[in-house]
Structure 1
Amino acid sequence: MARPSVADKDVITVDEAIDFYHLSKFTVRKYLREVETADFLAFYRGRKLILKAEFEKFLRENPEMKEVLMHGKSWQRRNQA
Structure 2
Amino acid sequence: MKNPSPGVKNIITPTEAIDYFVLSRRKFYDLLKSDEQKNFLVFYKERKMIIRTAFARYLEAHPDLRRQC
In which range does the TM-score fall when normalised by the shorter chain?
A: 0.7 to 0.9
50 and 36 in structure 1: CA distance in 2 versus 1, 3 angstrom threshold? same
Please give the root-mean-square deviation of Cα atoms over the aligned residues, in Å. Answer: 1.5
- Alignment-mate amino acid for residue 2 of structure 1: K
1:37 corresponding residue in structure 2: 37
Residue 7 of structure 1 aligns to a residue whose secondary structure is: coil
Task: Note the C-alpha offset of 1:71.
Answer: 3.7
- Alignment-mate amino acid for residue 4 of structure 2: P
Determine which structure has more spread, i.e. the larger CA radius of gyration: 1
Unaligned ranges ≥5, structure 1: 73-81
Name the count of aligned residue pairs: 68
Separation in 1, partners of 2:57, 2:46? 24
Residue 7 of structure 2 aligns to a residue whose secondary structure is: helix
Aligned counterparts, 1:1-81, within 5 A: 1-35=1-35, 37-60=37-60, 62=61, 65-67=62-64, 69-71=65-67
Separation in 2, partners of 1:57, 1:49? 16
- Alignment-mate amino acid for residue 6 of structure 1: P
Could you tell me the TM-score, scaled by structure 2's length? 0.87
Higher relative contact order (CA 8 A, sep 6+): 2
Moved beyond 3 Å, runs of 4+: none
Whose helix fraction is larger, Structure 1's or Structure 2's? 1
